[in-house]
Amino acid sequence: MTRVIGVRGDGTPWLHHVGRTSEVTLDELNQIEQGGHPRWLIPSAAASYPVLRRGGVRLDRCYDLAHAESVISAFEGTPVAGPASAPPTSLTLFTEDDDADAGAVAATQYADQQRRLAATGHADRLGLLIASDSVGALLAVEMTEAGIPWDAAIHDRLLTEALGVQTLPGARPSRLQELADRIIESFGRPVNPDSPQDVLAAFARDDIVLQSTRKWHLAGVDHPAVAPLLEYKELSRLHTANGWAWLREWVRDGRFRPEYLPAGVVTGRWATRGGGALQIPRRLRSAVVADPGKTLVVADAAQLEPRILAALSRDPGMMRAAGAEDMYAALATEAFDGRRDQAKVGLLGAMYGQVGGGAARPLQVLRDRYPRALQLLEDAARTGERGGVVRTRLGRTCPPGSERDPTPAQERARGRFTRNFVVQGTASEWAGSLLGILRQRLHRAYGDTDAARIVFYQHDEVMVHCDAALADDVIAHVEAAALAATRLLFGETEVVFGLDVRAARTYAEAH
């Protein structure tokens, strides 16, 4: 019998069961949870689970009505704003309005969703997708709670080494100021290096006309300001995006705690809010340091998207290549006279919708040698260009075209989007499945303790902060989770989804 769980605006948990909604204590919830790990219905884990966690409750499984609604509506062709982007007021009905029986409303909505799921004819796959998004919603809360271990002193030292010393708040650090001075000196007049317009105008006065100040446009220009400008841009980026202000705002008690938005991206990828958590710069990854006695297990899926393409299309040659440890090298041996870079450029170009430039010839080779794989992408692109929708392996559906009268350029852009959607979205399902399976395995092995906690996840990469002595076991759990995710999505397949996985004290060393 289904149980609905939620939290009122005043923080009181409620339980809806056999037609009745009543207040419930955290102890009672824990007892029911321990008694058999039911699959709780929950209007929104993002809204309710943090309160339950603060009370020591750990849910194993749930069905998140907001995520389910997003998945089902998109499949039906009437997308709602995603659960992540929905403003808090839209949850009022379920969590804050004490007059309505929130439990009864949720139970009704669930029944309606089950009916609609059955009507799709794909209740099995969509059910897996909803389960995956739902466990992601639970884990997202737990990951924010755990936080990424972050050594502020190391971060500070890295900043000082790169940027020089901080002078006054709001002023440039010394190294950055020196570069700004050199830029001005090179132009012989005042220029604000932070202003693209200003920089373009300065170059124009020296008879150099640039399309933009992007670094790849600047790179080939012969002018004394270019070198300091490129260095300034790189360091300025570090200063503004992950400098001392970021450190003060985001790192507390040795932890960086971003807010995760599972399936916050249309393709199903996660997004984060605040702190730019999915863009932790490489040069700062040595500041991510395990606590004493602990280690970081970092696993990332190698060449995930091309392998996804092979498994989705079942192209025989592509699947054979995707059985190799280095898929690009295998493709190169088979079809590119051993030129690995050609295989990579071609395959990435095919998945992103590139048509010209250096990818043109490799693309033709791929079309000749791997027609089924390329056809899958071409079909997705054509569907998008015509205004249709495409779906991932588990049925996540892209939004319908938004233009009423698309220009040819807009049609092509949408074709590139739908072409990429099937691959990026299915890759996201594979990684999300791995994540949910890993969460369950770690909990069964170590319980709700700090012995092993998932602390970071981005697209095709997961980080576990665990007791150093458990590193090998945790690595085995990650590898088992990857195999299980592969079976879940593709059954028996020749395609190998390999992981680069290792344990180390810092993120920099483990990646």
Partner DNA sequence: AGCCTACGCGCC
Partner DNA sequence: AAAGGGCGCGTAGGCT
Judged by beta carbon, residue 78 or residue 211, the one nearer DNA is: 211
Residue 320 CB neighbour total at 10 angstroms:
16
Whole-number minimum distance, CB 511 to DNA, in Å?
7
- Rounded Cα distance between 126 and 135, Å, is 14
Count of residues in contact with DNA, rule CB under 7 A:
55
Q: Does 232 bind DNA (CB under 7 A)?
A: no
Whole-number minimum distance, CB 203 to DNA, in Å?
11
Q: Which region among 29-37, 262-270, 436-444, 470-478 touches DNA (by CB under 7 A)?
A: 262-270
Q: Does 31 bind DNA (CB under 7 A)?
A: no
Q: What is the layout of strands, in order, in the sheet containing 461-467? A: 452-457, 461-467, 294-301, 499-504
Q: Which of 34, 167, 212, 364 binds DNA (CB under 7 A)?
A: 212
Q: Which region among 20-28, 147-155, 266-274, 312-320 touches DNA (by CB under 7 A)?
A: 266-274
Q: Where are the alpha helices (DSSP H) in 293-391?
A: 304-313, 316-321, 327-335, 340-352, 360-369, 371-385
Alpha carbon dihedral 458, 460, 463, 469, in 10-degree steps, equals: 180
Whole-number minimum distance, CB 423 to DNA, in Å?
9
**Structure tokens, 97:** 């309005």
Q: 139, 28, 46: which is closest to 433 by C-alpha?
A: 139
- Report strand pairing: 13-17 vs 3-7: antiparallel
Q: Does 262 bind DNA (CB under 7 A)?
A: no
**Structure tokens, 384:** 């998008």
- Rounded Cα distance between 186 and 233, Å, is 16
Q: Specify the 3-state DSSP secondary structure of 428.
A: helix
- Rounded Cα distance between 357 and 444, Å, is 51
x/- map, 449-488, DNA, by CB under 7 A: ---------xxxx---------------------------
Residues 6+ apart with CB under 8 A from 193: 179, 180, 183, 199, 229, 232, 233, 236
Q: Does 32 bind DNA (CB under 7 A)?
A: no
| 354, 344 Cβ separation under 8 angstroms | no
**Structure tokens, 163:** 């940027």
- Rounded Cα distance between 272 and 274, Å, is 6
Q: Which region among 11-19, 141-149, 173-181, 193-201 touches DNA (by CB under 7 A)?
A: 193-201
Q: Does 362 bind DNA (CB under 7 A)?
A: no
Judged by beta carbon, residue 7 or residue 310, the one nearer DNA is: 310
Q: Does 385 bind DNA (CB under 7 A)?
A: no
Q: Which region among 13-21, 29-37, 233-241, 319-327 touches DNA (by CB under 7 A)?
A: 233-241
Q: Does 205 bind DNA (CB under 7 A)?
A: no
Q: Does 272 bind DNA (CB under 7 A)?
A: yes
Q: Which of 20, 237, 248, 444 binds DNA (CB under 7 A)?
A: 237
Whole-number minimum distance, CB 2 to DNA, in Å?
32
Whole-number minimum distance, CB 55 to DNA, in Å?
28
Q: Which region among 22-30, 89-97, 175-183, 352-360 touches DNA (by CB under 7 A)?
A: 352-360
Whole-number minimum distance, CB 495 to DNA, in Å?
18
- Rounded Cα distance between 381 and 360, Å, is 17
Q: Does 275 bind DNA (CB under 7 A)?
A: yes
Residue 244 is given by DSSP the state H
Instruction: Report the chain's terminal Cα–Cα distance, integer Å.
Output: 45
Q: Which of 36, 169, 220, 357 binds DNA (CB under 7 A)?
A: 357
461 forms bridges with which residues in the sheet?
A: 300
Residue 332 CB neighbour total at 10 angstroms:
21
Q: 123, 405, 135, 121: which is closest to 270 by C-alpha?
A: 135
Q: Which region among 34-42, 234-242, 327-335, 476-484 touches DNA (by CB under 7 A)?
A: 234-242
Q: Does 246 bind DNA (CB under 7 A)?
A: yes
Q: Does 349 bind DNA (CB under 7 A)?
A: yes
| 131, 139 Cβ separation under 8 angstroms | no
Q: Which region among 27-35, 144-152, 180-188, 267-275 touches DNA (by CB under 7 A)?
A: 267-275
x/- map, 93-132, DNA, by CB under 7 A: ----------------------------------------
- Rounded Cα distance between 472 and 26, Å, is 35
- Rounded Cα distance between 342 and 340, Å, is 5
Site for DNA in 300-319 (CB under 7 A): 300
Whole-number minimum distance, CB 94 to DNA, in Å?
23
Positions in the binding site for DNA (CB under 7 A): 192, 194-198, 200, 212-215, 233-234, 237, 240-241, 246, 261, 264-267, 269, 271-276, 278-283, 300, 348-349, 352-357, 360, 413, 416-417, 420-421, 424, 458-461
